[in-house]
Chains A and B, each alone.
Chain A
């Protein structure tokens, strides 16, 4: 069942079809929102809100203007940017959500050591991504999730394909610089 068929069904009043769309896109939307650095509770809340908004305005979606996934990610992206701006106003120095990472190292056996190193590597990446400007971060997350084509990412970001490529390049460059700095 493709998206177009399910959307027609939803517009015709079949709610079960929307359930299938939620099941299909819940994981990518969670990955995107998590990748934007939001806390687990905020991720779930915003993911729910993204799907509710998509349902409410599904009638305004036109397949000719882009894919359903790009349209859905646009809703999620706008919600994420609003939430980031809101949390920054609440706590200007709020730290980037660093994911679920190991606490007590326990006995220094090789597998624990490896897990610690992996956790530390991820923590550094998350921290470095948290320092990127939102526009670069958004493009980077969308590109590395590999859910959307570069044209779809351009549609989500409302910019040209060339701008997406340039943001991707700048984002990776800044990320690398931040990682090199954190190693020093």
Chain B
């Protein structure tokens, strides 16, 4: 007959899922209280594992759908990069046009005020 503390220690290890040495396992088999606890916890553990098997199955073609979404994202990124590159080109051309217009305006004003500035003009 083992002291109650011995049973408590074994039952705590069973509940915590800690491994038992040979002597403790032998005791847990013989002792009514310890074997009842062991049976209860083993049943609980198998129920949890069983419940985790009762979850949604992976649908057919799941991996292919993931790859298709990756491909879509890559296409969107490429399109976005292309659109952004075209926008920069438009802005650069607009700025160039504006600069030419301003330069021409300045040249016109200067040629009016200072006739010598005008190209080909006689003083």
Where the two chains meet, the residues of A that have a C-beta atom closer than 8 Å to any C-beta of B are 15, 18-19, 22-23, 26-27, 30-31, 33-35, 40, 43-44, 47-48, 51-52, 55, 99-100, 121-122, 125-126, 129, 140-141, 144-145, 165, 168-169, 172-173, 175-176, 179
Contacts and interface: CB of A to CB of B under 8 A. Distances in A.
A122 B50 contact: yes
Interface of B: 15-17, 40-41, 44-45, 47-59, 62-63, 65-67, 69-70, 73
Contacts of A40: 56
A18 B64 CA distance: 11
B28 to A, nearest CB: 17
A19 B56 contact: no
A125 B56 contact: no
B52 A51 contact: no
Contacts, number: 89
Given A99-B55, A165-B16, A168-B17, A52 B69 contact: yes
Given A172-B41, A172-B48, 9 more contacts: A18-B67, A22-B67, A30-B58, A31-B55, A48-B69, A51-B66, A125-B47, A126-B54, A165-B16
B66 A179 contact: no
A169 B73 contact: no
Contact of B15 (A51, A122, A145, A169): A169
Nearest to B44: A176
Contacts of B59: 44
A44 B51 contact: no
A73 B22 CA distance: 36
A176 B40 contact: yes
B70 A140 contact: no
Contacts of A165: 16
Residue among B57, B66, B67, B73 with the most chain A CB within 10 A?
A: B66
Contacts of A126: 51, 54
Contacts of B51: 35, 122, 125-126, 129
Given A126-B51, A173-B15, A26 B44 contact: no
Contacts of B49: 144
Given A126-B51, A144-B49, A179-B44, A34 B56 contact: yes
B56 to A, nearest CB: 4
Contacts of A51: 66
Residue among B44, B54, B58, B65 with the most chain A CB within 10 A?
A: B54
Contact of A30 (B47, B57, B66): B57
Given A140-B48, A175-B48, A22 B55 contact: no
Residue among B41, B44, B55 with the most chain A CB within 10 A?
A: B55
A48 B55 CA distance: 16
Contacts of A33: 55
Contact of A141 (B41, B50, B52, B73): B52
